[in-house]
């Protein structure tokens, strides 16, 4: 049995929701980053799925965008981790609820 497009979209939506939940509720900065990565993965899954079920003999646009997205996500992860380290050095903690210098 071949899974249908709906299955992929449901998996992707679940993945996005879990990532969003992680980004919103976890205190630890690394876990927030992981949440963000999960949301990105959900988006990539959508690209691939729409391309795969879009019809025969199409140019591989969805795959290319996904690859781009993964490359950018890698760069983003590197920057994000570097920022986490920098913030840790400054605050001696990685709990984002303590970074409230911007409060009004």
Partner 1 sequence: MNSWVVAYLWWIPAAPFAASLVILSLSNARRKSAAALAVAGQALALAMSMVAFAVSMQAPGFRAVQNFTWFTFGEQALRLGFVLDPLAAAMLVMIALVGLCIFVFSIGYMAEDKNFTRFFAYLSFFSGAMLGLVIANSLLLLFIFWELVGLASYLLIGFWIQKPSAAAAAKKAFITTRIGDMGLFLGMLWLYGRSGTLLFYDGGNGCLESASFAILGASTTFIALLIFCGAAGKSGQFPLHVWLPDAMEGPTPVSALIHAATMVAAGVFLVARVYPLFSLGAINGVTSSLTVVVWIGITTALMAALIAIAQPDIKRILAYSTVSQLGLMMVSLGVGGVAAGILHLLAHGFFKALLFLGAGSVIHGCHGEQDIRKMGGLGRLMPVTFVTYAIGMMALSGVPFFFSGGWTKEEILHSTANWPRSHLPYYLMLAGVILTALYMTRQMIYVFFGKPRVAAERAHESPRGMTMPLIVLALGAILLSVVLTPAWPWLHDYLVGEPVHFEFGRLIQPMLFISLVLVGAGIAVGFWMYRKAGLPDRGRPAEVDPLEYAQPALFRFLANKIWIDELYDRTVIAFSWMAARLSDWMDRYFWDGLVRGLGGLGQLVGIFTTSIDEHGINAGVDETTAGTRGLGRLMSAAHSGQIQTYLGAVAIGMLALLLLYAWLA
Q: Which two tokens stand for residue 86?
A: 């920098």
User: Cα dihedral sign for 90, 91, 96, 98?
Assistant: negative
Which range binds partner 1 by CB under 8 A, 20-28, 40-48, 65-73, 77-85? 20-28
95 binds partner 1 (CB under 8 A): no
> Which one, 67 or 85, has the nearer CB to partner 1?
85
> Which one, 56 or 97, has the nearer CB to partner 1?
97
Q: What span, in angstroms and rounded, lies between the C-alpha atoms of 90 and 87?
A: 5
90 binds partner 1 (CB under 8 A): no
The DSSP-derived string for 49-74 is HHHHTS-SS---HHHHHHHHHHHHHH
Residues binding partner 1 (CB under 8 A): 20, 23-25, 32, 96-97, 99-104
């Amino acid at each position: 049995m071949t899974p249908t497009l709906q299955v992929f979209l449901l998996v992707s939506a679940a993945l996005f929701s879990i990532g969003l939940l992680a980004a919103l509720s976890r205190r630890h900065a690394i876990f927030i980053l992981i949440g963000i990565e999960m949301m990105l993965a959900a988006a990539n899954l959508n690209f691939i799925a729409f391309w795969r079920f879009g019809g025969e003999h199409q140019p591989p646009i969805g795959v290319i965008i996904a690859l781009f997205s993964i490359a950018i996500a890698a760069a983003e992860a590197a920057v994000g981790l570097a920022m986490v380290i920098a913030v840790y050095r400054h605050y001696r903690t990685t709990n984002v609820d303590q970074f409230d210098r911007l409060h009004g």
